[in-house]
Structure 1
Amino acid sequence: MAAFKGIWTKGFWRAVSGEYLATLIFVLLSLGSTINWAAEEEKPPPADLVLISLCFGLSIATMVQCFGHISGGHINPAVTVAMVVTRKLSLAKAMFYVLAQCLGAITGAGILYLVTPAAVRGSLGVTTVNSNITVGHALLVELLITFELVFTVFATCDPKRTDLGGSAGLAIGFAVAIGHLFAIPYTGASMNPARSFGPAMVTLNFEYHWVYWIGPILGGILAAGLYEYLYCPDPQLKNRLSQVFHKDASGKYKEVESEDIAIKPGSIHTIDLEKPEKKDPFQDQTEVLSSV
């Protein structure tokens, strides 16, 4: 129960509901761009990949801008898992985030299903693996495009950087659009397990659905780990670890009892939804931890 102690607050449930609403709007608007309204014609035109890519990218950029200060604007289980492995979000809170994202995606896809005529509904934007590539290649593509996305999230929201300018949300939106421009012909460019789960649940089409969970989550973990621990490590990480672990007489490292150490407030950068930190208003964009 200690792990769930922090969730019994109004601020946390506000954040969870924000993830639900942001994912709902994102999935509804983005999947809407995949509807081919000329499907009833004798020779319907092919899907407009540029239109779809821009709609996904701009939708994410908008949702990040709207919900970043409320929930962190993850809108993506792969981003949430990346925050967990880099200790920016607790596992207990992440479980609620992922559940909210999946429910939001189902709701958004369900609304689109209801308002769209059956004749043009098609597959409702369900992500599918191109028959000309193997499932292994599809998994690799999803891993790579999600790596690109999550690396962008961490790079544009890094509080240690002093060279950041412009909109973090727009940069993340561009990363989503780029991933779609490249990968739609391969896998439908999910980059987001919730985005794939919503329409799959509504249409009950789960063919190779596991690809759209394992690929993005592995890509997110890899990107987060490389950024946080290799390319841009926290210079105070070693000092913090020495406060938590010490070497005993036998040469083995043991965890220091919590009452024996004093960690300065704010020394570890985490998302604490119960006790929001006082921040410089000009740093808001770098604190957004979000994505598709």
Structure 2
Amino acid sequence: MEGKEEDVRVGANKFPERQPIGTSAQSDKDYKEPPPAPLFEPGELASWSFWRAGIAEFIATFLFLYITVLTVMGVKRSPNMCASVGIQGIAWAFGGMIFALVYCTAGISGGHINPAVTFGLFLARKLSLTRAVYYIVMQCLGAICGAGVVKGFQPKQYQALGGGANTIAHGYTKGSGLGAEIIGTFVLVYTVFSATDAKRNARDSHVPILAPLPIGFAVFLVHLATIPITGTGINPARSLGAAIIFNKDNAWDDHVSVSLLTKFTIQSKVSIIG
């Protein structure tokens, strides 16, 4: 009983009481910044946890594309927006899936599910180049397979309804689409850096548990804002997988000129903040 009483009094974060920002909770005594991840870490290749993490990223991205592409197709198939979940439903599908999948995979791979997030964390030296490349490959393969399964189940509807591929809406220029994707990707990755900040995790034990919530909510809000412009990419794997399986000129043109350029240029700015 004494041990239990002590645990309750001290708390899971090992501080006698909640301490505000700027107090000893953030001192060098209580928190030490982890060293930067090495650029190359060959030892990872001999670890099962390394390969398991990549498999988790593959499965998560596969499920993400499968559910979200089906949602987009369902909305487009409806005779009018009132007969379907509409843009809000699509946004909830994307945000909700990210929330669920980050929660499921955070303890295995970190729950990236997005090459933009992986690349940003690599630039911030949060993971090695070896792991970053492996994650990105598995994420893209998972996205391709997820979109491919949807097309396999409904080939005619998939082609007729656009396959969930990102294209710039009529009336918008590529510059408008680029701007929307840059801001949207920044919001997402900035939220990821904030939600997974190691100093906050050390101070408040509840922060790691709640991390999937703000990340999923950020995805939801960005989709509300940018679906009418580009269909919302903010995820190179999601855009690439849908473009490969849909395989139409307009999807490829918009994907290459806006989507990929946006994701991998915004990360340098985010990594500086992180």
TM-score, structure 2 as length reference: 0.76
Q: CA 1:207–1:12 in 2, change beyond 3 Å: closer, same or farther?
A: same
Query: Equivalent residues in 2 for 1:140-159 (5 A)?
Result: 140-159=179-198
Contact persistence 1:4–1:93 (CA under 8 A): no
Q: Distance in 2 between matches of 1:221 and 1:22?
A: 25
- Is 2:205 the partner of 1:168? no
1:238-261, Cα deviation, whole Å (9 max, x unpaired): xxxxxxxxxxxxxxxxxxxxxxxx
Report deviation, 1:134.
Answer: 1.7
Shift of 1:119: 3.8
Q: Which amino acid aligns with 2:184?
A: I
Higher helix share: 2
Deviations 1:99-158 (A, max 9, x none): 000000001001111222624651111011123222122112111101000110111111
Choose the corresponding residue for 1:101, options 130, 139, 143.
Answer: 139
Match of 2:56 in 1: 18
Q: For 1:189-244, what per-residue CA distance to the aligned partner results, in whole angstroms no more than 9, with x for missing partners?
A: 11100001111111113122121112122233322322x2xxxxxxxxxxxxxxxx
1:202 and 2:240 equivalent? no
Structure 2 unaligned residues grouped into runs of 5+: 1-38
Structure 1: runs of 5 or more not aligned:
229-292
Q: In the TM superposition, what is the alpha-carbon distance from 1:170 to its structure 2 partner?
A: 1.3
| Aligned residue pairs, count | 224
Letter in 2 for 1:167: L
Partner of 2:152: 114
Root-mean-square deviation (CA, aligned residues, Å) is 2.0
* Matched letter for residue 45 of structure 1: N
Distance in 1 between the 2:247 and 2:97 partners?
Answer: 25
Matched, 1:51 2:97: no
The aligned residue for residue 178 of structure 2 is 139
% identity of equivalent residues: 37
Q: How far does the alpha carbon of each residue in 1:9-50 deviate from its partner, in whole angstroms, 9 at most, with x for none?
A: 2110000111100100111111111013773x7xx2147100
Supply the distance in 1 between the matched residues of 2:148 and 2:122 (Cα, whole angstroms): 29
Once superposed, which parts of structure 1, at least 4 consecutive aligned residues long, lie more than 6 Å away? none
TM-score (norm. length: structure 1): 0.72
